Amino acid sequence: RREEKFGCLSGRRSSLCVLALCLSVASPPCSARIYTNHWAVRIAGGADVAERIADKYGYRNMGQIGDLKDHYHFFHSRTIKRSTLSSHGRHSFISMEPKVEWIQQQVVKRRIKRDYKADPYPAQNNIFYNDAKWSSMWYIHCNDDVHNCQSDMNILGAWKRGYTGKDVVVTILDDGIERNHPDLFQNYDPQASFDVNGNDMDPMPRYDATNENKHGTRCAGEVAAAANNSHCIVGIAYNAKIGGVRMLDGDVTDMVEAKSLSLQPQHIDIYSASWGPDDDGKTVDGPASLARQAFENGIRMGRKGRGSIFVWASGNGGRSRDHCSCDGYTNSIYTISISSTAESGRKPWYLEECSSTLTTTYSSGENYDRKIITTDLRHRCTDSHTGTSASAPMAAAIVALALEANPLLSWRDVQHIIVKTSRAGHLSAPDWKTNAAGYNVSHLYGFGLMDAEAMVKEAERWKQVPTQHVCVESADRQIRTIRPEHVVRSVYKATGCTDNPNHHVIYLEHVVVRITITHPRRGDLSINLTSPSGTKSQLLANRLFDHSMEGFKNWEFMTTHCWGEKAAGDWVLEIYDSPSQLRSQKVPGKLKEWSLVTYGTSLHPYSSLRSEKPRSTDEEFTEEYNGESGVPNMDRLAILAHIAK
């Protein structure tokens, strides 16, 4: 992943600024910014007006930014390519043009791929499919006689029902994909591909001696490697179309991200991203204005209004005690945040815990745990794909199976189906709990391990959930002092916007806390939120390496742990200050303000109402979802017989 730096904006008739966003908590110190010779410009009046203005001020118009209307990519060849100072000169007077509504000089953002280096494991003998590595794909056929894993993701069950990803398009946002790989060329989709770094249509990776740009090709193989071609592996959605966007092999800016996230939203169904801000335990960062707009446009208009599906790796910062709530990509309601578990069901050492994680797939773990087998650069295969980088494309492929079963699913339908069908199974976590709507949930694994067969069965009979309502509760602006070794507790009585039918939320989906805090050492803070039903979400844990004095400014923490619960009632915010080292007592922290935003529906999302129930006992955590609501646990043949009736 690479670290993001927000550019400074200038509106109509105002000059380019350097300091406007320097105070943003989500940005690094201004001295660390690297300004490029690329600009994002919003111009009213169409492409001809943009071309005229670009020419007038010495810019080259590189075209519209992705699918963002009236937003253009301008390039200035006489400006220094990379500079620690923002650019000034005659060309900067472009902001005075009446048709120029907004302009932003692009700054470099640090983005890190979410894998890690490890030694490969030897392959095993070939069985079932004739693909060379099939027998080593433990995460697909883990319940056969050859393997020892305790629970699988029921991918074979989805295949047996005829779902292999046909007519679904998945694009990997990464460092490119090797489109002529023997396992990828059959399903490669040029319409779902682009080279943002090189500004051309070919996403082929740049080759070097270290094979640095292998990441995207590895992710692509997990999704859509061809089946029964005697080469390498079988993709989980092996009949899906696969595309790639080369966007990580160069300077990553807000504009680069926006172009990638908004590529062909009427053609691409699923975007898979296995990267993000630094997992160093001290960064707080997220999408800037253009990328945020790309997310919102995709959700509102992608897939003919049903919404683009954005799948995101939750992060590999476990060793740095990072917390994925400080990552604005995985912390977004628009992304499906994917965690990892080892084949043993134990927590991988790199796993980040947070309340925004929705679900989990398999990946690598300790040295004795097997890794993920997939396609690799130079027409090869690898059995050492790792981290949450491997988990996200696996999840994207399972979602592709569900979309084949029901192409009419909205982006929220997909999240609901994941919540309903993911299962705790054998996943080991100390914090499994059952919320008031009856869902098992954990900060490590979200709602549990994905179940492909259960998802396609739900998708087959799914009825679209009611319209999403958004209730923005009024902000609590009472300033409270945060003292070391003390707890600040604030209770907010939420109404769920009962007085506004268009915003009334009764049944919850996502809950967001917007918060502003000043503090001498941000890493000493931890934050909890307790719902009216008593479900506690840890919004933030202590971060040992976060020495920042910037605090949080309107940062959004998100939780999925209250899914299905009632919105109205007392919400309790608790902030703990636990100093990890000696610090001055003269400048205590302060909670400046916080507000609650609830997302959900005023009608029950499912036809058969799910009554709230008390918290479960420990015995309930091992029960696996069998794909049929109201049907007791049975073997699969019995379930199929039940369906046939």
Give mean pLDDT in consecutive 10-residue pieces for the chain, a chain of 645 residues.
36 36 37 84 95 93 93 90 80 89 92 58 48 90 58 90 98 98 98 97 96 96 96 97 97 97 98 96 97 98 98 94 96 98 92 98 88 96 92 98 98 99 94 98 98 97 97 97 96 97 98 98 98 98 96 98 98 96 85 98 77 34 33 34 35
Classify residue 625: in a domain, yes or no: no
Among 435, 460, 485, the domain boundary falls at 460
Q: Do 99 and 70 form a contact (C-beta atoms < 8 A)?
A: no
Task: Write out pLDDT tens, residues 335-367.
Answer: 999 999 998 899 999 999 999 999 999 999 888
Catalytic residue among 135, 325, 332, 389: 389
State whether 478 and 379 are in the same domain: no
State whether 391 and 418 are in the same domain: yes
The three-point CA angle 184-187-190 to 5° equals: 95
Distance CA 413, CA 639 (A): 24
Classify residue 287: in a domain, yes or no: yes
CATH code at position 405: 3.40.50.200
Q: Do 332 and 552 form a contact (C-beta atoms < 8 A)?
A: no
State whether 218 and 298 are in the same domain: yes
271's CB contacts (< 8 A; 6+ apart) are 170, 171, 173, 260, 261, 298, 308, 309, 310, 311
pLDDT of residue 149: 58
* DSSP for residue 348: P
Classify residue 158: in a domain, yes or no: yes
Classify residue 201: in a domain, yes or no: yes
Clarify whether 215 is annotated catalytic.
Answer: yes
Clarify whether 389 is annotated catalytic.
Answer: yes
394's CB contacts (< 8 A; 6+ apart) are 139, 153, 222, 223, 236, 338, 361, 362, 363, 372, 450
Phi and psi at residue 512, in whole multiples of 5°? -120, 135
Classify residue 612: in a domain, yes or no: no
User: What are the angstrom distances between the C-alpha of 610 and each of 456, 510, 622?
Assistant: 21, 18, 20
* DSSP for residue 319: G
Classify residue 307: in a domain, yes or no: yes
State whether 502 and 596 are in the same domain: yes
Long-range contacts of 94-98 (CB under 8 A, 24+ apart): 94/41, 94/53, 94/56, 94/57, 94/59, 95/10, 95/11, 95/12, 95/13, 95/14, 95/15, 95/16, 96/13, 97/12, 97/43, 97/53, 98/12
State whether 87 and 155 are in the same domain: no
pLDDT of residue 16: 36
368's CB contacts (< 8 A; 6+ apart) are none
Distance CA 392, CA 389 (A): 6
Among 415, 434, 460, the domain boundary falls at 460
Identify which of 382, 451, 466, 373 has the alpha carbon closest to the alpha carbon of residue 417: 451
What percent of the chain is predicted at pLDDT more than 70?
85
pLDDT of residue 113: 72
The 10 Å Cβ neighbour count of residue 209 is: 5
State whether 365 and 480 are in the same domain: no
Classify residue 203: in a domain, yes or no: yes
Task: Write out pLDDT tens, residues 115-174.
Answer: 654 433 333 333 368 999 998 899 998 655 545 555 689 999 999 999 999 999 999 999
State whether 510 and 529 are in the same domain: yes
Catalytic residue among 115, 174, 183, 195: 174
State whether 74 and 183 are in the same domain: no
State whether 547 and 577 are in the same domain: yes
Phi and psi at residue 401, in whole multiples of 5°? -60, -40
Domain count, the chain: 3
State whether 473 and 456 are in the same domain: no
State whether 182 and 77 are in the same domain: no
Reported pTM: 0.81
Among 460, 487, 515, the domain boundary falls at 460
536 sits in which H/E element: strand 536-540
Q: Do 139 and 126 form a contact (C-beta atoms < 8 A)?
A: no
CATH code at position 538: 2.60.120.260
Identify which of 491, 489, 495, 490 has the alpha carbon closest to the alpha carbon of residue 473: 495
Q: Which domain holds residue 338?
A: 134-460
Identify which of 341, 385, 389 has the alpha carbon closest to the alpha carbon of residue 119: 385
257 sits in which H/E element: helix 254-261
> What is the average pLDDT score of the chain?
87
Distance CA 556, CA 598 (A): 12
Identify which of 514, 511, 503 has the alpha carbon closest to the alpha carbon of residue 471: 503
464's CB contacts (< 8 A; 6+ apart) are 408, 409, 410, 413
pLDDT of residue 608: 54
Classify residue 477: in a domain, yes or no: yes
Clarify whether 431 is annotated catalytic.
Answer: no
Catalytic residue among 73, 141, 215, 385: 215
Q: Do 561 and 519 form a contact (C-beta atoms < 8 A)?
A: no
State whether 294 and 439 are in the same domain: yes
